[in-house]
Amino acid sequence: MTLSSIRKVYQGIADRRQMFSMFDRHAQRPTRWQNDNSALHCGEWFEVGQAEYDYMLEILPPLWMRAEMFAMREFLTGSITGVFFALVIDGRLRFFHGYCDLADRASPDRMRAVIVDRESRPVKAMTREERLEHIWSSTHGDYRGYAGENWPAHLRGLRMVLVYGGKQGTVAKLLDRLTDAEVSAKLPVHLRYLPDAIAA
């Protein structure tokens, strides 16, 4: 699995438990200790509360601080680290976390621009990718995983979630192959009926 774009991975404001859970949403991946999986993390972002932002600012001295952002001293993998943003959007101060590749000096500024653009849209909507990423982020680890030995070779390592399969009971299905009805069923009610957004 390879991801690379800057992408929102959770809808809503993550509390501390959710924030720590999302810091490594890919912990179950079978290649966790074998490969450089920087592309899995780089570009992921989500909103946090002010208490979570303040907690992370105080936990360790930042690697660096600039207006509206600071970088975590500890790197997740390679040159990827967490960057926290305090941004005024539509007159309201909001807080975000994103994984940036600090080997690219412009990475934090690009992420900031994407967050501001995404969160400034007047009509709340979600792309299919955002819906799938939210499902992945909010599904308990016992109900999500990666296709393993029982799957055809070309599908192994892809993300999968458990879904209700009617008469078949609960079945494992690849995340990116969920039907619209399955996606809707796995989203919380307040997100099910948001209009589709066109991916930027």
SS3 sequence, 85-147? EEEEECCEEEEEEEEEECCCCCHHHHHHHHHHHHHCCCCCCECHHHHHHHHHHHCCHHHEEEC
The pLDDT value given to residue 195: 63
The pLDDT value given to residue 45: 93
pTM recorded for the entire structure = 0.78
Q: Which amino acid type is present at position 51?
A: A
The pLDDT value given to residue 32: 57
* DSSP helix/strand/coil, 48: strand
The pLDDT value given to residue 54: 95
CA dihedral (95, 15, 174, 75) positive or negative:
positive
- In a structure prediction context, what are the per-residue pLDDT tens digits for the chain, which is 200 residues long? 444 488 898 888 999 999 998 887 777 776 655 565 667 778 899 999 999 999 999 988 899 999 899 999 887 777 889 999 999 998 999 999 999 999 899 999 999 999 999 898 766 777 888 888 888 888 888 888 888 888 888 888 888 888 887 787 788 888 889 888 888 888 877 776 666 765 44
The pLDDT value given to residue 31: 61
* DSSP helix/strand/coil, 27: coil
The pLDDT value given to residue 200: 46
The pLDDT value given to residue 138: 86
For the chain, domain boundaries: 7-119, 128-192
The pLDDT value given to residue 1: 41
